[in-house]
Structure 1
Amino acid sequence: MDLKLKDKVILISGGAKGIGGAISNGLIDEGAIPVIIDPSKEEGSKILERAPLHSMQIPIRLNNASDAEKAVKLTLEKFGRIDGVVNNAGANDSVGLEHGSPEEFEKSVAKNLHHYYHLAHFALPHLKKSQGAIVNISSKTAVTGQGGTSGYTAAKGAQLSLTREWAVELLPYKIRVNAVIPAEVYTPLYQNWIQTFDDPEQKLADITKNIPLGKRMTSPEEIAAMSIFLLSEKASHITGQHLFVDGGYTHLDRSL
């Protein structure tokens, strides 16, 4: 299927590793131009090698609004257009209600949420010109809870709310906004989390046995496939949606 993404310029926060890396690679496969906003130079360079003239890395972390503004400016200087934004960067930092402080909570929400708004805000004038799309990568924790991670889940829930809000606000410009919701995806960050348990292999087995479809984790490439589809013209009448790519983990009976 030709998704008609050839030469489309797509910003991806956290686009060098994990889900973001899979999205960047998938966009290259479709002939698109991923702009990887990620400080991980080693991982990013491996992606850039696949399409050195049709990709770009901006090795910064989106800590504040000026970083997002800079990323948009550098993209325009090189490619002259923006056709899509994938808000993806973030980390489950285990800042909870009991084990955490108000200051830690505020920092957790800020680092997992604010750059979603910042990047979309500065890219918006250019998305209007291209009638582009925004994809927000959220998390099933936003709808199920997890325990011990108030900051992260607050940010993820807000991302889902902003998806609907922006979808409404941007209707006049034909800019589509959707969210992709993963559950259990074996990324480098997930691997780091698994290693915090006394018996990581057993913990991983306990999780995967409860994933209804195939008793396996979702791959980053499967999240990427949905995200790339939503960026494409093939999803031209889809907006304001929360799409779960999780093997049925969130909604199906886990005893299946």
Structure 2
Amino acid sequence: MRDPHEQFQDTLHKAQEKQPGGGSRRGALNMASIAVHAIGARGRGWLAQSKGLWKERRDTMAMIFIGGSRDIDVLPEPVIERISAIVRHEHGVLIGDAPGADAEVQGLLAGYGYEHVGVFHAGKEPRHNLGDWAAYRIRPPDGAQGFAVHAGKDREMARRADYGLMIWDGASPGTFLNVLRLVLIASPCVVYDTMRSRVTTTCSVADWRAIFERAGADVAREVIARMTAEERKAVAA
């Protein structure tokens, strides 16, 4: 049997080589149903429904980008259940090093003794790496300040991911932009909105726009200000 850490490194390397829209990405028509089961399900009935999918995928390690807002210091129970499902099925986790949701999720995964985790950071050392996992530095552009320092590592995690799980406080523009980055490359994302206690699965820009329209004018302005030209063009299309 292969060493779990070696398996994770091999899978992460393969994910790094994937290009948006490449042949290795799963068909978009099945994304919604697969994402809901792959990231976890509430209740035994829903888990039983996913049994067939798991049987088909048991030898495949999906890469899941988990992120969230810095103001979140307690993970909601449904999020803990979904992360527990990720651990049970031994999927890879891509996570940042920020305080808040990143640190809380790291603490949970470290408590499980989970090994299939990669921590992405912009500084010389991760701000948080609670499980002493493999760390990947994504250097920011010269002169980058504020949110731009960490935007590059977020884009890189989204690029490598098959799915996303975002714990959003209903206001954080960075977390919400990560949802967009995922759907732009056909990677579904489960969004847990702690402000509204709402769970949504986004599989398309239209799904993302529906949440965007409910977010409010202040949030919308901040999100638009942080978008790249390419991201603005994709949303406007």
Length-normalised TM-score, structure 2: 0.37
Structure label with greater radius of gyration: 1
Q: Give me the TM-score of the superposition, normalised by structure 1.
A: 0.35
